[in-house]
């Protein structure tokens, strides 16, 4: 699933290529009976209203909140796109019914903004811009980890809201901190030397500081190199990011740990239904979980 760096990479591309353009038309072949009556374009009645509302509107700019892409329009509304597990936005020229393309925004410069979505899990909806922060999609999200005023002390406070929880799923809980998922939680914990099963309240402040520093450094670096494209993610020009070439834990099951002087091998376990990759040597807990 695209996480904070991948979503931010997409937002950066949108601001470069589609800001200031007018939406001329919208097409989708999304449809699911499961989504009947729900406010997203997989419901045909909602899509009709969506299409009417966005045609003729200018794209004022793009921003990100957690893993959500926000396209602000000139008509006081915002398109919210969550790429979910396999989605990515692509800018160029695309044909209706192209493989994996399930929504296309036709733009005033003759180009299109297409949503590629192999597993068809992505969400596209429309929200009044002045109601974004109170919408069901955004109102319960935790703070952004790269905000200037987000200190390690605030990071610790957020984690302690789930003090009895295991650190790996707590880091991925979007109500605690926004934007972190499977890849970056593994990398943070590897760099900080924290076992993914460690109970939050048992992590000493020194380790919290290391996790915080690792989080900021890793997220910023991944944005700089275009995110992780090990799976389906591509930027809006269809190009791969490079962070998958620099991971130390995620995806390295069975390999020797790359930490200097560590003789461990990366192990993978399941925690709360999600995979966790870690080194059982330098991430070994000093106390019981």
Return the number of other C-beta atoms located less than 10 Å from residue 156's C-beta: 16
**Phi and psi based region of residue 76 (left: phi greater than 0; alpha: psi -120 to 50; beta: remaining):** left
274 carries an active-site annotation: yes
Catalytic, out of 42, 64, 67, 158: 67
Contact 282, 259 (CB under 8 A): yes
pLDDT of amino acid 285? 86
Catalytic, out of 144, 274, 280, 285: 274
Mind listing the pLDDT tens digit for each residue in 163-211?
Answer: 999 999 999 999 999 999 999 999 999 999 999 999 999 999 999 999 9
Q: Which two tokens stand for residue 141?
A: 């999200």
* pLDDT higher than threshold 90 for residue 286: no
Quote the percentage of the chain above a pLDDT of 90.
92
Average pLDDT, the chain: 96
Contact 225, 241 (CB under 8 A): yes
* pLDDT higher than threshold 80 for residue 95: no
67 carries an active-site annotation: yes
pTM for the model stands at 0.96
- E strands present in the chain: 23-28, 59-65, 68-73, 77-82, 87-92, 101-107, 112-117, 123-128, 267-271, 274-278
* pLDDT higher than threshold 80 for residue 288: no
Rounded to whole angstroms, the Cα distance separating 155 from 161 reads 10
* pLDDT higher than threshold 90 for residue 54: yes
Mind listing the pLDDT tens digit for each residue in 68-91?
Answer: 999 999 999 999 999 999 999 999
Q: What is the DSSP string of 170-206?
A: HHH-TTTSSS--HHHHHHHHHHHT--TT-BGGGS-HH
- Residue 56: strand, helix, or coil: coil
Catalytic, out of 2, 39, 145, 196: 2
* pLDDT higher than threshold 90 for residue 32: no
pLDDT of amino acid 289? 66
3 carries an active-site annotation: yes
Rounded to whole angstroms, the Cα distance separating 172 from 245 reads 22
268 carries an active-site annotation: no
């Amino acid at each position: 699933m695209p996480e904070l760096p991948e979503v931010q990479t997409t937002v950066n591309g949108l601001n470069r290529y589609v800001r200031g353009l007018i939406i001329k038309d919208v097409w989708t072949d999304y449809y699911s009976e499961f989504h009947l009556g729900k406010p997203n374009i997989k419901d045909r009645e909602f899509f009709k209203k969506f299409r009417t509302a966005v045609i003729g509107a200018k794209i004022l700019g793009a921003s990100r909140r957690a893993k959500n892409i926000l396209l602000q329009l000139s008509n006081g509304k915002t398109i919210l796109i969550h790429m979910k597990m396999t989605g990515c936005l692509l800018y160029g020229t695309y044909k209706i019914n192209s493989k994996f393309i399930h929504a296309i925004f036709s733009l005033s410069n003759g180009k299109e903004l297409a949503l590629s979505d192999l597993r068809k899990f992505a969400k596209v909806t429309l929200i009044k811009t002045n109601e974004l922060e109170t919408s069901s999609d955004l109102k319960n999200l935790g703070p952004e980890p790269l905000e200037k005023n987000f200190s390690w002390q605030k990071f610790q406070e957020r984690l302690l809201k789930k003090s009895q929880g295991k650190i790996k799923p707590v880091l991925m809980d979007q109500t605690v901190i926004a934007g972190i998922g499977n890849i970056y939680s593994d990398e943070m914990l590897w760099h900080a030397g924290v076992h993914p099963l460690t109970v939050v309240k048992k992590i000493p402040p020194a380790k919290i500081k290391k996790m915080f520093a690792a989080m900021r450094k890793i997220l910023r670096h991944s944005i700089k190199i275009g995110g992780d494209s090990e799976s389906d993610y591509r930027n809006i020009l269809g190009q791969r990011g490079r962070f998958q070439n620099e991971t130390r834990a995620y995806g390295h099951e069975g390999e020797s740990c790359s930490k200097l002087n560590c003789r461990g091998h990366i192990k993978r376990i399941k925690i709360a239904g999600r995979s966790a990759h870690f080194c059982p040597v330098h991430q070994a807990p000093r106390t019981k979980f």
